[in-house]
Structure 1
Amino acid sequence: MAPTIERVVENIELGEGPHWDAATQTLYFVDIFSKTINKYDPSTNTHTKAHFDTYTSFIIPVEGKEDTFVVGLGRDIVIVKWDGRSDKVASIKKLTEVDNYSPESTENRLNDGKCDLSGRLWAGTMGVEKINGHVKPNMGTFYSFENNSLRKHFDQIGISNGLAWSKDNKKLFYIDSPRRTIDQFDFDIENGKISNRKILFSLEKNHIEGLPDGMTIDENGNLWVAVFNGFKILKIDSTIPETLLDTVKIPAKQVTSVAWGGPNLDELYVTTAKFMVDGLVLNPPEHGTVYKISGLGTKGLPMSNFKLT
């Protein structure tokens, strides 16, 4: 039986960073260009958002603290208090600032971010995008943050993007979009270290158009990768290099990220965008929509929240 795809939130400029919160059974995500954090409650089919003065990049609940989130805000990692209903947050507390090493780097911004099983935050940056779709190359850096301490892992990144961990927490999968590859690292969760970077899958080698963007992993160890400018999601075997298992077509051109959700984690939420690049207009409702896909025959792993120490 073919999967079922439906629109659940519409009119999003640049949807990104979907995070399913199992405790509240709700989906959080950001709209980067609209400078908002968003909440979608499938039980009531309601969508709410709060506005900021600069670009948002991710929103992740803080473990054990109600209505509290770690958010990427420009180049800052902050803690916000938000009731999930108001159009403004109650408070913002800055934890740290990234990419402050030169006047040029201060034009950067944070992009995708996720937490590992220990509650440690991983996030990277990208160069300035003064014209939509044209990012200053090789300006980004990849970081982790825990115990109020920021650690730099590597730089020379085009657009820091998708993150996922293997079920046994021995591998970190990572995407720098302009490289058009899904890479893997050996992952040391105890010490928060990564090493031995290798290419797992190359869109170039497999003759796939578009850029790899956000991604997630299922319980069987398969990666699901959003393809920006590709109208699709790729299902990739994370254990055998260059192994494409399936392709799921999406009605939107700019597919940005994916996250497993629902009571059984068997529904795939897909964020998309509709911003103009080089004069190409993408019209709603197909573009700039959050989709929910059911019937994919697998389910995901629970997403980890941020542990504030």
Structure 2
Amino acid sequence: MVVNRRAQPRVKPLKSHKSKQGTNLFFANGILYYADAPVKKVVKYSVDDQDILSTVYTKRRSSLAIPVYKHSKLPPNMNIESTVLMSEGAQLKLMDLETKSEKDLILVDDAEEVSIGAAATHQTGTLFFSTIQLDKGTVEESHGGSLCCMRRSGKVTKLFDGLCVPDGLCFNGDCTRLFAMERGENHLVCSKLDDLSIAGPELVVDWNKSPLLPKTVVRGLTMDIDDRLWMCCSGEGKIIQVDVEKKRVLLEIPAPKARELSSLCFGGPEYREIFVASSYAALTQDELTKQVNAGHILRAKGYDVRGRKPFPVMIELNSSKSMKAAGSTRLAIQQT
């Protein structure tokens, strides 16, 4: 990896901001959207102004806040520019972050201990997401979960059971492969997609036996324009770029004074910056005094990297049709 000589590489925390554990970071038009899962809130944050623009608190665990596609069909009291798809426990809903108008889309699971986990949007606007099991707010990794998708109509299809993916889900450039960090077995897995179906997950890296970065737990995943996978790794507090085919680390970026990381995404001008959420969720007071950047969003600049612009979620509501969850292992990817 060649370092950009035009700017000195650096990683610094953003101002006016601190979250216990940021999840599913999403950058669009100078804005970072994310959820602070343990605190049960979603945040809209201006990177240019380094200030929080909007905060919405929820009654149950929140995990995502993703902007909707500009041609979506929403209720008349919702503005497309300020509306996001968000989660509250296992409930997916629309929320206008300016007016606070909201609309429930679908309850994926009515069990109290089930919550939405990681999420990634396909190029058609279809949302892929995981469900996870909680115990007193803590992810029960051994209890597994499910991989699901939500069509633009709001209909949810369950794809696979037995996957625990609380954070770490992303597509490659042409959306033919979906990568996930399965925390139950601590495996990096990949599912192949074509126009009609999604294949079962295949093992890419066994992080227990052959970790690419020892003594770490992988949290967030994202992809650059060269289809190199990026991970944020807790324990060592590092962001790494990975050649998946060769199973080799190409670049390591240390996070200063923050060893626990929970999510990352590309952003900034031409998506040449990396944003990573650091966490203080499990830190003791003594650890907090040493990890002074814990809880901040960190920005890595000056590296010769470029990410892909993420896809918003496509929503086309039809009040005449009910939205129900379906149990199927096949998925129609084509636009409907």
> What's the offset of the Cα at 1:224?
0.6
SS of the equivalent of 2:49 reads: coil
Q: Is it true that 1:235 corresponds to 2:245 in the alignment? A: no
> What's the offset of the Cα at 1:131?
6.6
Q: 1:99 to 1:277 in 2, by over 3 A?
A: farther
Give the distance between the partners of 2:270 and 2:121, measured in 1 at CA: 20
Q: Give the number of equivalent residue pairs.
A: 294
Q: Tell me the amino acid that sits aligned with residue 256 of structure 1.
A: S
Give the distance between the partners of 1:194 and 1:250, measured in 2 at CA: 35
Aligned equivalent of 1:203: 207
Q: Is it true that 1:254 corresponds to 2:264 in the alignment? A: no
Structure that is richer in strand per residue: 1
Give the distance between the partners of 1:307 and 1:131, measured in 2 at CA: 30
> What's the offset of the Cα at 1:280?
7.3
Aligned equivalent of 1:98: 108
Match of 2:85 among 49, 57, 70: 70
Give the distance between the partners of 1:17 and 1:214, measured in 2 at CA: 8
The 5 A counterparts of 1:72-91 are 72-83=87-98, 90-91=100-101
Give the distance between the partners of 1:153 and 1:230, measured in 2 at CA: 33
Give the distance between the partners of 2:310 and 2:104, measured in 1 at CA: 23
Q: Tell me the amino acid that sits aligned with residue 287 of structure 1.
A: A
> What's the offset of the Cα at 1:135?
2.2
Q: Which has the larger radius of gyration?
A: 2
Give the distance between the partners of 1:303 and 1:277, measured in 2 at CA: 31
Give the distance between the partners of 1:129 and 1:282, measured in 2 at CA: 25
Q: Is it true that 1:224 corresponds to 2:230 in the alignment? A: yes
SS of the equivalent of 2:112 reads: helix
| Residues 145 and 165, structure 2, Cα contact 8 Å, conserved in 1 | yes
Greater shift after overlay, 244-253 or 61-70?
Answer: 244-253
| Residues 76 and 95, structure 1, Cα contact 8 Å, conserved in 2 | yes
Q: 1:28 to 1:297 in 2, by over 3 A?
A: same
Aligned equivalent of 2:180: 174
Percent identity of equivalent pairs: 19
Aligned equivalent of 1:111: 117
Give the distance between the partners of 2:283 and 2:109, measured in 1 at CA: 26
Q: Tell me the amino acid that sits aligned with residue 45 of structure 2.
A: Y
TM-score normalised by the chain length of structure 2: 0.81
Supply the RMSD in Å over aligned alpha carbons. Answer: 2.1
Q: Is it true that 1:16 corresponds to 2:23 in the alignment? A: yes
> What's the offset of the Cα at 1:27?
1.0
Tell me which of the two structures has the higher relative contact order, counting C-alpha pairs closer than 8 angstroms and 6 or more residues apart: 2
Q: 1:299 to 1:54 in 2, by over 3 A?
A: same
Deviation per CA, 1:131-170, whole angstroms, max 9, x where unpaired?
75x6252241110000221110111223443122121222
| Residues 99 and 141, structure 1, Cα contact 8 Å, conserved in 2 | no
Aligned equivalent of 2:306: 299
| Residues 141 and 160, structure 1, Cα contact 8 Å, conserved in 2 | no
Deviation per CA, 1:81-104, whole angstroms, max 9, x where unpaired?
112xxxxx612211111233xxxx
SS of the equivalent of 2:184 reads: helix
Give the distance between the partners of 2:219 and 2:184, measured in 1 at CA: 9
Greater shift after overlay, 146-155 or 176-185?
Answer: 176-185
SS of the equivalent of 1:114 reads: strand
Q: 1:199 to 1:244 in 2, by over 3 A?
A: farther
Aligned equivalent of 2:39: 34
Q: Tell me the amino acid that sits aligned with residue 260 of structure 2.
A: Q
SS of the equivalent of 2:167 reads: strand
| Residues 211 and 228, structure 1, Cα contact 8 Å, conserved in 2 | yes
Q: Tell me the amino acid that sits aligned with residue 290 of structure 1.
A: I
Aligned equivalent of 2:160: 154
> What's the offset of the Cα at 1:33?
1.3
Give the distance between the partners of 1:198 and 1:279, measured in 2 at CA: 40
Aligned equivalent of 1:61: 67
